Amino acid sequence: MSDPAAEETWNEKRILVCDDEPHIREPVAIYLRQNGFEVTTAVDGRDGLNKFQKDDFFLVITDINMPQMTGLDLLAEVRKVRPTTDVVMITGNVDLDYAIQAIKNGAYDYFRKPFDFEDVMLTVSRVVEKRRLQRAAAEAERLRGERSASERNAIEAVMALVQAVYSKDSYTRGHMERVGLYADVIAATMGLEAKRRKIIERAGILHDIGKIGTPDVILNKTGKLTQEEFLVIQLHPNVGAQIVRPISVLGEVAPLVRQHHEKWNGTGYPDRLAGEKITVEARILAIADVFDALHSDRAYRPGLPIEKTIQIIKEGRGSHFDPEVVDCFESCLNDGTLLGSIKDARGAGQVSAQDKVKAMAEEAQKMMMGATSQAREAAPAPAPAP
Ligand SMILES: [Fe+2]
């Protein structure tokens, strides 16, 4: 099939009518002119080829049986000279085998003598419509290529940012990995479907990516933050959401990244959302985030014991945290699945958040390539930072 996208010209006005019988050729030409086309006529195949080489026709209508050069030979030359031009054959009853051969050789269609003008117009209209669809498909393909390229660039940028956040703050690295893991376990306990769990796990991995915009002196400060420093910290959910939002495969992750510091009672940031205005995924993320932040060792202090961590989270039930999510958190903590998931992750080969971001990039590329299957197995779970 020809590639119309490669052609600059999409002028669908000029038609070459080639027939050695003037009583067919001329009326067809007149009729097409009356319908708005610019028509050139040729008296045989050779005359037709000469004229075809000198002008830019979108359609050639040619008789099959002609002196000097047959319609089949003319078709072959047209295909060589300008393959995007469509060719329609005119046949007599005895030429049917030739007409079929012409279709095999790339002709668009044929009509048999005797024909009426409506048949001609119908065929020409179908050629014009087919070309319009080809043009639309070519444009869609071009845009898809552009989107694919920009998507890849965006994902590579996110991967670079994840790496940059890691190198900025060694705690953040392990934290982002573990929050994704914990959030997924809590989401499973709450009965969220696999697709939503995948989104929440990704949001866990990326939730603090906006810290790329937070100065190191604030991020690594061991003492109490000033009010101004705290305002700077509060920018990171919005910055993070802005980073991931343009990437189609991460589009659903962006609201979760933005909302992970919102509180059930509406005193969180950046939007002071309350209750169910906060997505359930973000409410889960909030607990996973705080649990890991409290329980993990930091450079300037050891992690809180598990009992103390649980107590703080329970104290936030109904104020900081959604009560139902707290209950589910407790449930999977008590049955061992929450902390067990970390051990499982270690056993699974310590796949890092960076690897998971790579997996997202691969998925985005598959989506762009038109892959329909979204049902990839979740990558092995991440391991905590040493
Ligand atoms: Fe955060």
CA 284 to centroid of ligand 1, rounded, Å = 13
373 class by beta-carbon count within 10 Å (0-12 exposed, 13-18 middle, 19+ buried): exposed
CA 307 to centroid of ligand 1, rounded, Å = 23
CA 26 to centroid of ligand 1, rounded, Å = 78
What does each of the 386 residues of the chain score in pLDDT, given as a tens digit? 344 434 434 578 999 999 999 999 999 999 999 999 999 999 999 999 999 999 889 999 999 989 889 999 999 999 999 988 999 999 886 777 888 888 888 888 888 888 888 888 888 988 888 787 777 767 777 777 776 677 677 777 777 767 766 666 667 777 887 888 899 999 999 999 998 998 898 888 889 888 877 777 787 777 888 888 888 888 889 888 888 887 767 778 999 999 999 999 999 999 999 999 999 999 999 999 999 999 888 766 788 998 999 999 999 999 999 999 999 999 998 988 888 766 655 444 445 555 665 666 565 555 444 432 333 333 333 333 32
Residues 6+ apart with CB under 8 A from 91: 63, 64, 98, 99, 110, 111, 112, 113
CA 293 to centroid of ligand 1, rounded, Å = 10
**pLDDT at residue 337, as a whole number:** 83
CA 237 to centroid of ligand 1, rounded, Å = 6
Residues listed for the chain: 386
CA 64 to centroid of ligand 1, rounded, Å = 75
Minimal CA–CA distance to 158: which of 27, 354, 365, 23? Answer: 354
Q: Are 225 and 233 in contact (CB under 8 A)?
A: yes
Element (H, E) at 42: strand 38-42
CA 232 to centroid of ligand 1, rounded, Å = 12
CA 236 to centroid of ligand 1, rounded, Å = 7
CA 189 to centroid of ligand 1, rounded, Å = 23
CA 291 to centroid of ligand 1, rounded, Å = 12
Instruction: Domains for the chain: give ranges and CATH numbers.
Output: 4-140 (3.40.50.2300), 169-368 (1.10.3210.10)
**pLDDT at residue 357, as a whole number:** 58
CA 169 to centroid of ligand 1, rounded, Å = 13
Q: Are 202 and 378 in contact (CB under 8 A)?
A: no
CA 327 to centroid of ligand 1, rounded, Å = 22
Q: For 183, left (φ over 0), alpha (ψ -120 to 50), or beta?
A: alpha
**pLDDT at residue 113, as a whole number:** 83
**CA–CA distances in Å: residue 121 to residues 52, 60, 128, 331:** 21, 14, 10, 73
Quick count: other Cβ atoms within 10 Å of Cβ 382?
30
CA 134 to centroid of ligand 1, rounded, Å = 49
What's CA 153's distance to the chain center, in Å? Answer: 13
CA 260 to centroid of ligand 1, rounded, Å = 7
**pLDDT at residue 49, as a whole number:** 95
**pLDDT at residue 8, as a whole number:** 39
- The alpha carbon dihedral of 305, 307, 309, 311 has a sign of negative
CA 346 to centroid of ligand 1, rounded, Å = 24
- What is residue 40's three-state secondary structure? strand
